[in-house]
Amino acid sequence: MDLPIDFATLRVLWWGLLGVLLIAFALTDGFDLGVGALLPFVARTDEERRMVINTVGATWEGNQVWFILGGGAIFAAWPLVYAVSFSGFYLAMFLVLSALILRPVAFKYRSKRTSPRWRAFWDWSLFISGFVPALVFGVAVGNVLLGAPFRLTSELRIFYDGTLLGLFTPFSLLAGLLSVAMLVVHGAAWLSIKAERGPVLDRARTYGSIAAILSLILFAAGGFYVAYGGVGYAVTGVLDVQGPSNPLRALTEAVPGAWLTNYQTYSWMMAAPVLGFLGAWRPWPAYGGDPLCWRSAGPRSRRWALSPRSVCRCSRSSCPAPSIRPPA
Amino acid sequence: MIDLAVVDLSRLQFALTALYHFLFVPLTLGLSFMLVIMESIYVMTRRPIWRTITRFWGVLFGINFALGVATGITMEFQFGMNWSYYSHYVGDIFGAPLAIEGLMAFFLEATFVGLMFFGWDKLKPVTHLFVTFLVALGTNLSALWILIANGWMQNPVGSTFNPDTMRMEVTDFMAVLFNPVAQAKFVHTVSAGYVIAAAFVLAVSAFYLLRRRHVGFAKRSMTVAAAFGLAASLSVVVLGDESGYALTDNQKMKLAAIEGMWHTHEAPAGLSIVGLPDMAARETRYEIQIPWALGLIATRSLDGTVDGIFELVAISEDRIERGVLAYDALERIKADTTDVQARADFEVHRNDLGYGLMLRRYVEDPRDATPEQIMITAWDTVPNVPLMFWTFRIMAGIGFLMIALFATAFILCTLRKHETRWFLWVALLAMPLPWIAAELGWIVAEVGRQPWAVEGVLPTFLGASSLSVPQLWTTIIGFTLFYGALAVVEVGLILHTIKKGPFHEHSLFGDPDPQPAEAAREPAPTVA
């Protein structure tokens, strides 16, 4: 097909687009997953749980589409990446899939009956469907950094030589826990914006603070391992950026520490890990601020919500009324 | 060699999960538009009963929608999980409509479905109607894109094999979009969804009328279902015929198998009504035919011929032999990417590469195949004829029954004879029929495509992932138990909701303030 742009540019565009999709997924659905993972702990009574679920009830479905779209984009733009990762991590994908199937059902079905057992069942389902994907996504990213044991035949048929348990190495588990911790921070921050003053808010702040500290520690430990743990790959052969998408014509080798070389080559990229630390650290002390001001400011002004002065300038009358109300 | 047990189990799992997914999808497709119709009436008349009607069917829509969405995620993941070589081989084309489906359809439906359920008291009626419409549009767009993807598997237009990347690549995206097979399949499939939703609404309304409960509600719902169902059932049959016409061009083998037609007949061919196709003897016994009918349907002419299975197998045999030459040229290109002669040879036979790959079932290298193996492989291109023959006939038979059902319903509603009890029983008992027809329709479409994953391009057995049998049993058992449990919960909730009736939807929705005045009023039955 004749393309108006050259192949190398197209590749960068798709790479950027996939980044946008996955980051948007983490930003928007991340707090939904975090709220799900926190649900049984921050909210103990049915009324509290209904309030917590209602903070994400209307939007989680749209947010999850970023993930579906990310999957579709990988399929369309890098069929081989999609094929290798989904078939290689077969049973892990099945776990994620089961959790993601459980999620829409739990959200929709929980309120349909009033019996405490019915509700408790779906509450724990929501916990599983928030916790398991967060964990497995992190484990998957950890394994991508470590490298996966697959080989390709000359016709690009894929053979994967690893096992499900082989995916859970200490480093990939660390990445998985980091992922859970980050999304819990995210979910707790969301709740501290949306929840009314009360026990739920207090618990969300406590769990959020613990998760924020854990995120900082795990992120630092993971970074240390990536630098000195002997992991890393680099393209060592000649790379034809305009050439056909055939990995058999490129050469990649294991080079310890090579994941960090780009930070030396392009120092502006350091912004990413710096933001990673800031992102976990910043909301943590903010949990100590006046939660009412947070909530009144509403999600749209979260950027400013970190500065208490600008938030509290919003007078009571101009503040939107608390929109979360437990249903009758 | 390819592990055929893995292939068979992968096919079993895909069939189970896809057929299960399609229990919920058609109801979503149809019910969403029925909600638009009901809510339009509410917006135009502002009668509270129509708001109640819309909200009640909306609750059932929501219960069903959740499972449709949930089981749909499986479908997107499964291509990569179980069909990794397929995903690599055709992802450049097949992945695109899937990605666009996410971009256009899922965002639309997922964003607005939340607003639809949570916005009843916050949006103006007209705005809410628009939201409902966007949900319906989203679900139907989703069907459009997935059928463009499926249509390409049936009729792989606008694409070519690239020996440098070992995969199919897009040459003409417009051809993929406007693939005639995809267009015919789309309209046929969504129409089937509309029929299913109409049959569902009709049956539940009939249940209420038989019990003499919620009479005013049920009569109105029945009237909408009758009109919508009549239009949809006519459309599904007419456009099913259009699908048959499209088959004549691209899937002659599927058409011959559906008809159990082993030999080419003189034009115009007759249409078999019943018969007993025999795969071993390669003949159809006890055939009863309508003269000329198949020739007319399939070729839209009196002199066009419809090819028989024997003649098509002979063509396959030639193509397999040429496919071996294409495979040989491809191997030489792989050995030396600058081999100009090999590339020239490949250009000559490239369209038959898929047929050459069919031999991989019996030999590691198709160039070593014996004439007997080529003969056997040529016969492998015939799908399961008796299965095709009967599933098609049952599906088509149900299609005509549905026209009769909705025509009767339409007449009874027009005559205000909603409470004709024998018909109410028929309507109630007929509820599963369109579901059966839809599932059989997918079996006709997909089993009829065998042995190809992509017609003439990639054999199904080559598309599977290199998984192990225990891995597959783990997921098959896992899916079966999980899906089985979800089905029990879903059906239980739907029955529970129906039992509670339309005037309890406030508590189902978690509405903060149910309006007792409106809920208590059972409107006069004569006002439709």
Beta bridge partners of A233: A254
Residue B396 lies in a domain: yes
Query: Residues near A191 by Cβ (< 8 Å), separated by ≥ 6?
Result: A35, A38, A42, A52, A55, A200, A201, A204, A208
**pLDDT for position A287:** 53
Give the number of other CB atoms < 10 A from CB of residue A92.
19
pLDDT at residue number B244 = 66
Residue contact A76–B69, C-beta within 8 A: no
Taking only the tens place, the pLDDT of each residue in B109-141 is 888 888 888 888 888 889 999 999 999 999 999
Instruction: Say if B76 falls within a structural domain.
Output: yes
Distance of residue A102 Cα from the nearest chain B Cα, in angstroms:
7
Structure tokens at B176: 């993929």
How many pairs of residues across A and B have Cβ atoms under 8 Å apart? 199
Q: pLDDT higher for B246 or A34?
A: A34
**Cα R_g (chain A), whole angstroms:** 22
Segment B472-499 shows an average pLDDT of 92
**Within a domain: B405:** yes
Question: Does residue B358 form part of some domain?
Answer: no
**For testing contact with chain A, the best of B161, B177, B465, B481 (most A CBs within 10 A):** B465
The residue-averaged pLDDT of A87-96 equals 89
Q: What are the residues whose beta carbons fall under 8 Å from the beta carbon of A264, sequence distance 6 or more?
A: none
Cα separation, A83 vs B89, whole angstroms = 9
Cα–Cα distance for residue pair A180/A172, rounded to 1 Å: 12
Cβ atoms B114, A54 nearer than 8 A: no
**Domain boundaries along the sequence of chain A:** 7-230+273-288
When scoring A97, A115, A163, A323 by the number of chain B Cβ atoms within 10 A, the one with the most, hence best to mutate, is A97
Do B288 and B274 form a contact (C-beta atoms < 8 A)? yes
Q: Report the range of poorest mean pLDDT among A10-14, A270-274, B296-300.
A: B296-300
In a domain, B269, yes or no: no
Would the CB atoms of B77 and A71 count as touching at under 8 Å?
yes
pLDDT of residue A269 exceeding 70, the answer is yes
Contacts of A243 in chain B (CB under 8 A): 164
pLDDT of residue A104: 86
CB contact under 8 A, B76 and A245: no
pLDDT confidence tier of residue A258, bands split at 50, 70 and 90? confident
In Å, how far from its chain's centre is CA A177?
Answer: 11
- Rounded to whole angstroms, the Cα distance separating A265 from A243 reads 24
Residue with tokens 């894929």, as numbered in its chain: A158
Phi, psi of B157 (to 5 degrees): -90, 165
Portion 45-104 of A in contact with B at CB < 8 A? 50, 57-59, 61-62, 64-65, 68-69, 71-80, 82-87, 90-91, 93-94, 97-98, 100-104
Contact list, A112 vs chain B (CB under 8 Å): 63, 493, 496-497, 508
Average pLDDT across chain A, whole number: 80
Query: Average pLDDT, stretch A89-98?
Result: 89
The answer to whether position B263 is within a domain reads no
Give the tens place of pLDDT for each residue, B323-353: 888 898 888 888 888 888 888 888 888 888 8
Touching B: A residues 142-201, CB under 8 Å: 154-160
CA B290 to chain A, closest CA, distance in angstroms equals 46
Instruction: Please report which confidence band the pLDDT of residue A305 belongs to, taking 50, 70 and 90 as the band edges.
Output: very low
pLDDT in tens, B218-255: 999 999 999 999 999 999 888 776 766 666 667 888 88
CB-CB under 8 Å, B66 with A245: no
B312, part of any domain: no
Write out the residue range of the structural domain in which residue B56 sits.
22-161+170-253+383-509
Q: Is the pLDDT of residue A256 over 70?
A: yes
* Domain count of the fold of chain B: 1
- CATH for A7-230+273-288, among 1.20.1630, 1.10.10, 1.10.3470, 2.60.120? 1.20.1630
